Amino acid sequence: MKKTMILSLVLATSLFSASIDFKQADDNVKRTLPTDNQNTILSYHDSIQKVKNSVVNISTSKTVQSSSFGIDDFFNDPYFRQFFGFDFPQAPKNKKNKEVVSSLGSGVIISSDGYIITNNHVIEDAEKITVNLPDSSTEYKAKLIGADPKTDLAVIKIEAKNLPAVVFADSDKLLEGDVVFALGNPFGVGSSVTSGIISALNKNNIGLNQYENFIQTDASINPGNSGGALVDSRGALVGINSAILSRSGGNNGIGFAIPSNMAKSIAQKLIEHGKIERGYLGVVIGALTQDIKKAYTNQEGALITEVQKDSAAYNAGLKRGDLIIKVDKTVIKSPMDLKNYIGSIDPKQAVEVTYERDNKVKTAKFMLKTDEKSLQYEKGYIDGLKLVELDSKNRQQYRIPESISGILITEVTPKSKAEKIGFEQGDIIIGVDQYEISNFKELSKALELNKGKEYVKIWINRGGFVRALLF
């Protein structure tokens, strides 16, 4: 018995007798101040002083629906919907009571003659946009030039001259660890600056925007900082502050900014055209899983899972199972890479797509098309209406039976022509004069055929009852 115990101890000891040669830092170090001159203060004051004058306060106002708490408030309460699911049918809103609400945000001057870039969510649906310059009591009424909800960017303009325009940096040259400063107007208390570093680059799948390529920073981005500037240690713009990742609403050191290169490209198009039109491939894409990678030579790319009939990709011969690895000279490592690159290209532009099929690399050259459905939603057909085609999700949300076909009205802008006519959220456009409507294409054609008439009858289904509105 004793021999067995001794043997066991010897074996146990031998199992743990291996040694590790840990790398040890030199203990003989000297601590010093950033500068050896005791009369010198380390400061970035001069670097950010100039760019502070380019960051403005934006205040907006809009009319919203309001009501005393009732059963509709209970069913639409966020906590109730989080418990039962966000697809739980919504109760109709009380449309009798309205109130004017205000909000604050920030913006960045990008031209001396008054163009300002900000977040779309700062000015979205605003009836009035007011801009205050730093250290000035003068208020400027701003005009919306254009907005792009898919990147959460917008451009507004004020009538002023000789404004201090921001200097842009090349955001593609950023590195993790670079020192950055977030400038804005948090809580409406005036201009403020927070500091940090770049925590990560090219962040996507955050779920904030449709097109994402965020700069992540630990510089505090607080309420009111949205639309403000993220600058490097020179004071050059590297991003537009957009959002924070937080459960409580406070800053947890995870902030996101839209890269300056993306902001500059979107702003230029909005100023020139007032809208963003994107190229459209016509494919559904997914990422390579570990199992599927075994079937491909390339281990990165965007996997085509579906090809839309008569789309640019369909006509070019692309098929389900093709792995897109490059477009033009841009390497595609993920579905988001493909989405962002195609989304940055104008419609009707030629592209060369490199893809893998059956372990062979092939290329296809073709012209991009326009995502007509998306473009129609953004443009709208009737001033003041936001429209979507009916699908299983919004049918469930609005409790619309399968027997009804048409175009769903998801939002009516207060004080718009559409509201004055009598359209309401939840209405379904089912006809235009004698034409039946079931999709955007039919709606567009019907409106075009009735163009020039003094009055056009728009047939709607509201709560199961059909009525006509004169447009």
Strands (E), 344-450: 350-357, 360-367, 369-370, 385-389, 407-412, 428-432, 435-436
- The phi, psi pair for 178, rounded to 5°, reads -60, 140
Residues pairing with 107 in the sheet: 56
Q: How far apart are CA 342 and CA 432, in angstroms?
A: 35
152 catalytic, yes or no? yes
Overall residue count recorded for the chain in this entry: 471
Compute CA distances 421 → 187, 220, 383, 461, whole Å.
38, 45, 11, 15
Which segments within 399-446 are labelled E, that is strand? Answer: 407-412, 428-432, 435-436
Contacts for 426 with CB less than 8 Å, ≥ 6 apart = 92, 398, 408, 409, 462, 463
Say how many C-beta atoms besides its own lie within 10 A of residue 431's C-beta.
20
CA atoms of 53 and 185, how far apart (whole Å): 12
For 208, phi then psi, to 5°, come to: -90, -50
For 112, other C-beta atoms within 10 Å of its C-beta total 12
Active site residue 45: no
- The residues, any chain, with a CB within 8 Å of residue 295's CB and separated by 6 or more, are none
Q: Give CA–CA dist 344/278, Å, rounded.
A: 7
Q: Dihedrals φ, ψ of 339, to 5°?
A: -60, -45
Is the Cβ–Cβ distance between 229 and 260 less than 8 Å?
A: no
Catalytic one among 220, 226, 260, 344?
Answer: 226
- Check 54, 59, 152, 171 and give the catalytic one: 152
Helix axes 372-379, 440-449, angle to 10 degrees: 60
Cβ 237 vs Cβ 168: under 8 Å: yes
Q: Identify which of 279, 255, 289 has the alpha carbon closest to the alpha carbon of residue 186.
A: 255
b/e 28-60 (16+ beta carbons within 10 angstroms → b): eeeeeeeeeeeeeeeebeebbeebbbbbbbbbb
Q: Which of 106, 121, 199, 337 is catalytic?
A: 121
CA dist 115 → 234, 264, 377, 418 (Å)? 22, 12, 26, 29
Active-site residue flag, 121 = yes
Which tokens is 364 given?
Answer: 């296809």
Q: Which residues have a Cβ under 8 Å from the Cβ of 215 and sit 6 or more positions away?
A: 171, 174, 198, 200, 201, 203, 230, 238, 239, 256, 257, 258, 259
Residues marked active site are found at 121, 152, 226
